[in-house]
Structure formats: C-alpha cells, structure tokens
Amino acid sequence: MTELLVPAMPTTPLERVRWALSDGWVVARRGLIHWVRNPVMVVYQLLWPIMMVMLFGYVFGSAMVVAGGGDYREFLMPGLFGQTVMFGLATTVMVMTTDASQGVTDRFRSMPMSQSGVVLGRSFSDMVNSVLELVILVGCGLAVGWRWHHGFGKALAAMGLLLLLRFALIWVGIYLGLIVTPEAAAAAWAPLFPLTMIANTFVSPSQMPGWLGLLAEWNPLSATVGACRELFGNPGWPGESWAAQHAVELAIAWPVVIVAIFLPLSVRRYRRLDR
C-alpha cells in the first residue's frame, strides 16, 4: 500500500496562495474536461453564434436601420459579443447548482482543500470557455464583413472589457448557483434573454420608447457593448445620452461594482452553507 503522508496545513499566506492556485487548477481542469467531453455542448456553442449572426444579421437585419447610419452587421457584432458574455452567466449558475445537488459541493467542503480554490477553478474554466466562444464569434463576424477599424490594440482592449464583464458575472453566477436549485437554474434563460435585449445590443436605446430606452441606456451590458463599438470603430457610437458618451468608463465601473457586491455576497453565502 502507498505510504500516505498526510500533508501539512499551510501556515504562511504565500503557501496558502500556492495551495489555492494548485487546487484551483485541479478544479479548472475538471471544468475543461467536462466541456470537451460534452459534444452536444461543443456543437451547440459552435452553432449558436453562427445562428445568431444569421438571424440578426440577415433575417432581422434586413429591416434594421442603425441610428446615425452605418452597416447593421457592423453595429450588430459587438452586441452579439455582449450577449454571449451575458449568457455565460447561465453556464456558471448551472454548474454551481449541479455540483451542489450532486453532493460534490459537500465533498469539497468536507475536505481539507483550499475553499477559494473551488471558486478560482470555476472562474478560470468559465473564462477559458468564454474566450473560446468569443473567438468563434469573431470568426463569424469577420466572415460577414465586420471589422475593427482602430487597430489591433484597441480591438484587444474591447475584448478585455467583454471578459471583465464576464468575470464580474461569474460572481453573480456563483452567488445565484448557491441559492437556487438546478431546476431554477435551467429557467435562468427566461430573465436573461430580455436582459440582453433591453440594451443597445440589437437596437439603439434612442429608438425605443422613452422609459425602456432609459433602462437600456443604463444596462451594464450597454456600457460594455457601447465601449466595444467605440474601440472597434463600429457604427452606433456615440449616443446622445451621458451613459452612452461615457461607455468605456462605465464598462469598467459596472463590473467593478458588480464584483464589489457579489464577491462578498458569494463568500458569505458559501461560508453560511454551514448554517
């Protein structure tokens, strides 16, 4: 039988960080293996962007007029990037609730592992997943004539803002995943879908009825999408409102606010699982 050395507990902060990182990597690897071994999911994630580009770019797009002029598909792509990032929230919630309902979360909690490693691993694999989704979508965009016009650096900065929003949403997802059941998580699409539409993703808020337009202007997603349009040099920017003119600032501020709220809430919720 293997001689088992029961590992010592970390004592210094540095050891603790190393511990969290190595546990985080094990958890992240698991998340990535899940993704790779789920061919239905992989095909779905490949087809979904193509379908969305077809639907919105050509079906609805043929009747769309961009406020302030410009090509609709150029206007559309940053919106689709933003929507994809928002939909990632449902993935995080789903995985969290599945783990909880299958007792995996309990096993994590009953083990001497780094509890922040669980969350680190989760966010890492979700981020990798989102990067892949964005890469596929960029490919689709390029195929239908979307371009970035202000250089590669600014294009990367726009991608960075999208991933920043995704990172913030991971914490929302973890929090929700700790309080809802898998059944409720499956229903997360219902509120998520309008949330990605009542924004500047597909239509400029200025074209909506006043009250709805106001909601759409201040949707955190609008800030990120607006900032992306600015950085890519796509049409639909700038808007007339204060929020639209400060899209980049808001695209940084919103995720920071979301993390500031939901990170402590998630940690607290995780700790309170023992109540």
Give residues in contact with another protein (CB under 8 A).
Answer: 1-2, 4, 6-7, 9, 19, 22-23, 26-27, 29-30, 33-34, 37-38, 102-104, 106-113, 117, 273-275
Residue 91 and residue 164 in contact, taking contact as beta carbons nearer than 8 Å = no
The nearer residue to another protein, 36 or 143, going by C-beta atoms, is 36
Q: Is the peptide bond before 238 cis (omega within 30 degrees of 0)?
A: yes
What is 150-185 written as a DSSP string? S-HHHHHHHHHHHHHHHHHHHHHHHHHHHHS-HHHH
Other CB atoms within 10 Å distance of the CB of residue 13: 8
CA distance 225 to 80: 9
Distance of closest approach, residue 118 Cβ to another protein, in angstroms: 9
Output the smallest distance, CB 19 to another protein, in A. 8
Q: Supply the minimum distance, in Å, between the C-beta of residue 39 and another protein.
A: 12
* Residue 142 tokens, joined: 């390029």
Q: Which residues, 6 or more positions from 167, have their beta carbon under 8 angstroms from its beta carbon?
A: 123, 127, 255, 259
Distance CA 237, CA 219 (A): 16
The torsion angle over the Cα atoms of residues 204, 208, 212 and 215, rounded to 10 degrees, is 20
Q: How far is the CB of 111 from another protein (least distance, A)?
A: 6
When the beta carbons of 118 and 163 are compared against another protein, the nearer one is 118
Q: Whole-number minimum distance, CB 172 to another protein, in Å?
A: 24
Is 7 or 194 the residue whose CB approaches another protein more closely? 7
- Measured between alpha carbons, how far is 61 from 207 in angstroms, rounded to an integer? 15
Give the shortest CB-14-to-another protein separation in angstroms.
Answer: 16
- The smaller minimum CB distance to another protein, of residues 26 and 260, is found at 26
To another protein, the closest distance from the beta carbon of 37 in angstroms equals 5
Token digits for 210?
């006043």
CA 6 to chain centre: 38
Secondary structure class of 173 (helix, strand, coil): helix
Q: Which is nearer to another protein, 149 or 271 (CB)?
A: 271
Distance CA 227, CA 159 (A): 10
Q: Which is nearer to another protein, 190 or 274 (CB)?
A: 274
CB closer to another protein out of 104 and 215: 104
